[in-house]
Amino acid sequence: MMDSQKIHGSAPVGGDELSTTNQETVDLSQVQIEKVIDDSNMTKMITFQGIYKAKPIIIRLEKTMFVESTTKQSITDSQTKMDLSFLNDIYSSYIMTPALSDESLSQIQATIIWPANEKALAKYTHIDKIFFSETYGDFKNIVGPYIENMLSSDENYNNWVYNILEGRSEVERVIYNDIDRETGFLITPDLKWSDSMEDVYLLAICHRRDIRCLRDLNSTHLPLLNNILNMGTKIIEEKFSRCKGQLRSYVHYHPSFYHFHVHFKFVDAGNYQSTDRDNLLTTVINNISLMNDYYAKSTLTYPLSKSNALYEELKRVGRLTK
Ligand code: M7G
């Protein structure tokens, strides 16, 4: 998320999306709101697009975190209003209106981008997703060839991965390297890790180059997968002094990069969130152990953004209609 400022009526604006520097504050009463461009119940954010002084403006509002002390007071404050929604056995649900004096409870974090350029509008506008159920046939006839074509038409596609594997980049960041040709892998911090101990995020990248993704896995890969699971977990738990069971290892389908890799995150991390692209490594190993070609034959369902090139390809060949 970009830098943001708290505002009370008007805001100093700025940010890396702007091509020009702007030091002007925005008078919100003069903003013409045009539409909602993103709205998420999960993140408790809403983003508006509008016009301010004849130029596009983006206003993103986010409910702030609870402050323990004031929230605690507000619960027992006699001025707090509680409207019962329903009562069922030991459960009840209310709409709570805190007393007006509880300012922190009604505060909202606002991020303003003005003037907003195309790049910023694209970044802050929600793109719809669909759930796609990819059958064995879909993979064989459409998705597999699409991946092959992507890999062969761009020889630099996996460059960053090979740079790490061959010790040309991020050398000092690698925390473990087993160079076995069949079962070897290295562990390195993910690009997204901010280096905070709160949200450790690591990647295990295998040395062999013939596994593009989950679909390629079969029982011949069990020694590699078990090595990543067992050694990877041991090394990371030891290095970051965590207890057994706190580490989550998973494989994305689809990944963004078609060279087999496994994500590692601690479940107690502040920003820990699972997604429908996650396939737990333990489940992957279990499925392959039960059925050699489980991932070649299964229908795999995943969320697909309408801006993803694969979505376009599925539409192009008539597998998706809109
Ligand atoms: P993925 O499951 O293929 O796709 O994961 P996702 O990005 O949609 O999760 C690839 C992972 O590689 C991501 O978590 C990226 O943050 C990470 N990553 C990408 N690049 C280009 C680099 C890089 O250059 N270095 C490192 N260390 N990680 C990267």
Average pLDDT over residues 75-86: 92
Of the chain, the percentage scoring pLDDT greater than 90 comes to: 65
Average pLDDT over residues 301-314: 92
Average pLDDT over residues 241-249: 90
Mutational test site, ligand 1, from 172, 190, 279, max ligand atoms within 8 Å of CB: 190
Average pLDDT score, the chain = 88
| Minimal-distance CA residue to ligand 1 atom 23 | 191
> Higher-confidence residue: 191 or 214?
214
Asked if residue 256 has its Cβ within 6 Å of ligand 1, the reply is: yes
> Is residue 271 very low, low, confident or very high in pLDDT (cuts 50, 70, 90)?
low
Q: Determine the distance separating the centroid of ligand 1 and the alpha carbon of 257, expressed in angstroms.
A: 7
Q: What is the pTM of this model?
A: 0.76
Of the chain, the percentage scoring pLDDT greater than 70 comes to: 91
Instruction: Output the pLDDT for position 156.
Output: 87
Range of weakest confidence among 100-104, 129-133, 137-141, 189-193: 100-104
> Is residue 12 very low, low, confident or very high in pLDDT (cuts 50, 70, 90)?
very low
Asked if residue 188 has its Cβ within 6 Å of ligand 1, the reply is: yes
| Minimal-distance CA residue to ligand 1 atom 4 | 256
Range of weakest confidence among 60-69, 99-108, 244-253, 270-279: 99-108
Mutational test site, ligand 1, from 257, 273, 281, max ligand atoms within 8 Å of CB: 257
Which of 207, 259, 261, 263 is catalytic? The answer is 261
Asked if residue 168 has its Cβ within 6 Å of ligand 1, the reply is: no
Instruction: Output the pLDDT for position 21.
Output: 52
314: which 2 tokens?
């599925």
pLDDT at 122 over 90: no
Instruction: Output the pLDDT for position 105.
Output: 82
pLDDT at 89 over 80: yes
Following CA atoms 234, 240, 242, 248 in sequence, which dihedral angle do they give, to the nearest 10 degrees?
-70
Instruction: Output the pLDDT for position 36.
Output: 95
239-to-5, 34, 190, 230 alpha-carbon distances in Å: 36, 51, 16, 14
| Minimal-distance CA residue to ligand 1 atom 29 | 191
195-to-174, 191, 199, 201 alpha-carbon distances in Å: 13, 10, 8, 8
Instruction: Output the pLDDT for position 154.
Output: 87
Q: Determine the distance separating the centroid of ligand 1 and the alpha carbon of 69, expressed in angstroms.
A: 39
| Cβ within 8 Å of residue 212, ≥6 positions away | 147, 151, 258, 259, 260
Closest atom of ligand 1 to CA, residue 173: 27
DSSP secondary structure letter of residue 247? E
Asked if residue 203 has its Cβ within 6 Å of ligand 1, the reply is: yes
Average pLDDT over residues 177-197: 92
Q: Determine the distance separating the centroid of ligand 1 and the alpha carbon of 159, expressed in angstroms.
A: 12
For 171-183, what is each residue's pLDDT tens digit? 999 999 999 999 9
For 272-282, what is each residue's pLDDT tens digit? 678 999 999 99
Asked if residue 205 has its Cβ within 6 Å of ligand 1, the reply is: no
Instruction: Output the pLDDT for position 71.
Output: 86
3-state helix, strand, coil in the chain (%, to 5): 30, 30, 40
Identify the burial level of 54 via C-beta atoms within 10 angstroms of its C-beta, where 0-12 means exposed, 13-18 middle and 19 or more buried: exposed
Q: Determine the distance separating the centroid of ligand 1 and the alpha carbon of 8, expressed in angstroms.
A: 38
109-to-13, 194, 239 alpha-carbon distances in Å: 14, 22, 36
> Is residue 269 very low, low, confident or very high in pLDDT (cuts 50, 70, 90)?
low
| Cβ within 8 Å of residue 151, ≥6 positions away | 157, 158, 212, 258
pLDDT at 56 over 90: yes
Decide if 221 is catalytic: no
Q: Determine the distance separating the centroid of ligand 1 and the alpha carbon of 190, expressed in angstroms.
A: 6
For 152-167, what is each residue's pLDDT tens digit? 998 888 999 999 999 9
DSSP secondary structure letter of residue 172? G
Closest atom of ligand 1 to CA, residue 188: 27
Q: Determine the distance separating the centroid of ligand 1 and the alpha carbon of 133, expressed in angstroms.
A: 24
For 14-37, what is each residue's pLDDT tens digit? 344 444 456 678 999 999 999 999
Asked if residue 279 has its Cβ within 6 Å of ligand 1, the reply is: no
